[in-house]
Structure 1
Amino acid sequence: MPGKAAAPARTPGNGIKPAAAPPPSAAVGAYAAPAAPVISRGPSLNMAEQGVRGAASGIQLVFEFGDTAVGGGMQTALDQVAAASKQGVVTFSILARETELWDPAKRDALLNQRLNAIMTALGNRGVPTASLIVTWRPDKADTSINRAGPGLQLLASVKAGG
């Protein structure tokens, strides 16, 4: 541009120092390894609540709308529960469709029938019914739905074996 002087070229000789290169051992974007292993002293923040809702083993027994019978699709899951309970303690979930909306008294009665059907089916598979413990179920006055994934609601968590 006319009337303006050009900025002097920046060279090492005019007082501007070039940036120092990083040491060869430091990689760009790399993180230093911790000096000692990191040990967590509590539950992970992204872990599901244990003992309140959900099943640690992932075995789910799903009942169809208003049904109390142990259906054909549930047989494999019951076999898995029976086999796992012989190895140790296993926790499983009893689920229903989320569209199953009953008043609390009807839901509680239906859940009792479903639990009896499951206990009978597991008893027939050699699981002692005394080892079956309901660890969670909704309160008799609870009107809320406890979602357990897409399209499902949690009715109860049960522990078997041990």
Structure 2
Amino acid sequence: MNAYVNEAYGVGVLFKSGGDLGFVLNEEVDFDMPLGYIEKAWNIRNQFPIQFGDVSEYDSKNKKWKKEGLFVQFNSNSVNDYVDKFSDVSSIKDQDIFKINSDPEDVVFVTLAENSKENAPINGFRFVMTRIGAKWYLTLIDVTEYNAE
């Protein structure tokens, strides 16, 4: 995975804590990262074919994906939507990782969505691939469907 992480920008992880959007920037991806409550997001067994277009939404009230599958959305405005959710006093939205994702033509938004049949209510996560120069990089991982509290 780290071959897809740009050394200059790293990879950000978006999460929710107490209902607020949180963010941490990492230099590399490590699926053994001590991310506590979001580690279960790595437990993906998605066997669905790729669907292009709109991504599946997570229904936080019912704690499940509205539609299961592997969804890929080109020309996505998803990162700008995340930035709008940070408070105006937050310096997070000024970080370079968000600025390089401001042009939707350079952003692909992928959702892996499963409603688990086991103990955990859901499996899945979202990630953003960004074109930087002539190459595509993993820039953001979204596990906001897991709330820390």
User: Larger relative CO (CA 8 A, sep 6+): 1 or 2?
Assistant: 2
Instruction: Normalising by structure 1, report the TM-score.
Output: 0.29
Instruction: Normalising by structure 2, report the TM-score.
Output: 0.30
Higher strand share: 2
